[in-house]
């Protein structure tokens, strides 16, 4: 499963995602996430195209993404600055927030802003995630997409 599909699944289906182990980039046994250097095993989608829906069929319509994440953050006693920080968003979702994971997510979403790991790239990546969530059925405030 792609990183973005995992993000969608955890937000659009939080009860089902809670039963799954945390997604870690490059962990043994994880499917759909080839190691760096694997040729031709993963397709990337441009930011204007919608990634495939999360496992289990089409994404539900009208999911209040901000409310779901606010609830998750409240249950965890915070959640950092997940609204603008891609690292905090990934941590809130119990996902790998390492530079390698963010590079992979940037490749999936066709984000090419700044150097890998730079503030510029992280900001662009965060906005791309919010835009893709909105394109896939999530209600995302314009302030998070712009």
Would you state the pLDDT for residue 138? Answer: 92
The shares of helix, strand and coil residues in the chain, as percent rounded to the nearest 5, are 45, 5, 55
39 pLDDT above the threshold of 60: no
Instruction: Provide the 8-state DSSP code for 95.
Output: -
Q: Could you tell me if residue 14 is inside a domain?
A: yes
Would you state the pLDDT for residue 60? Answer: 54
Would you state the pLDDT for residue 111? Answer: 94
Q: Could you tell me if residue 109 is inside a domain?
A: yes
User: Taking the complete model, does pTM exceed 0.75, yes or no?
Assistant: no
Q: How far is CA 17 from the centre of its chain?
A: 13
pLDDT band (50, 70, 90) for residue 122 = very high
Cross-strand bridge partners of residue 11: none
Q: Could you tell me if residue 26 is inside a domain?
A: no
Residue-range definition of the domain harbouring residue 103: 1-19+60-136
| CA-based R_g, the chain, Å | 14
Handedness of CA 98, 100, 103, 108 (dihedral sign): negative
Assess contact for 94 and 22: CB atoms under 8 A: yes
> Tens digit of pLDDT for each residue in 69-111?
999 999 998 888 999 999 999 999 999 999 999 999 999 999 9
Question: In whole angstroms, what is the distance from residue 62 CA to residue 18 CA?
Answer: 21
Tell me which range, 26-30, 37-41, 42-46, 91-95, is most confidently predicted by mean pLDDT: 91-95
The total number of structural domains that make up the chain: 1
Q: Could you tell me if residue 37 is inside a domain?
A: no
């Amino acid at each position: 499963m792609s990183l973005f599909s995992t993000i969608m699944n955890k937000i659009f289906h939080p009860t089902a995602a809670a039963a799954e182990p945390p997604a870690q980039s490059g962990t043994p046994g994880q499917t759909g996430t080839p190691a760096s250097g694997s040729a031709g095993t993963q397709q990337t989608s441009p930011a204007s195209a919608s990634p495939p829906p999360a496992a289990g069929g089409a994404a539900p319509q009208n999911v209040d993404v901000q409310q779901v994440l606010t609830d998750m953050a409240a249950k965890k006693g915070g959640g950092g600055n997940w609204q603008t920080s891609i690292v905090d968003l990934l941590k809130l979702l119990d996902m790998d927030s390492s530079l390698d994971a963010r590079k992979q997510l940037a490749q999936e979403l066709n984000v090419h802003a700044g150097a890998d790991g730079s503030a510029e790239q992280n900001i662009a990546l965060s906005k791309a995630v919010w835009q893709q969530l909105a394109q896939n059925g999530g209600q995302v405030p314009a302030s998070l997409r712009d």
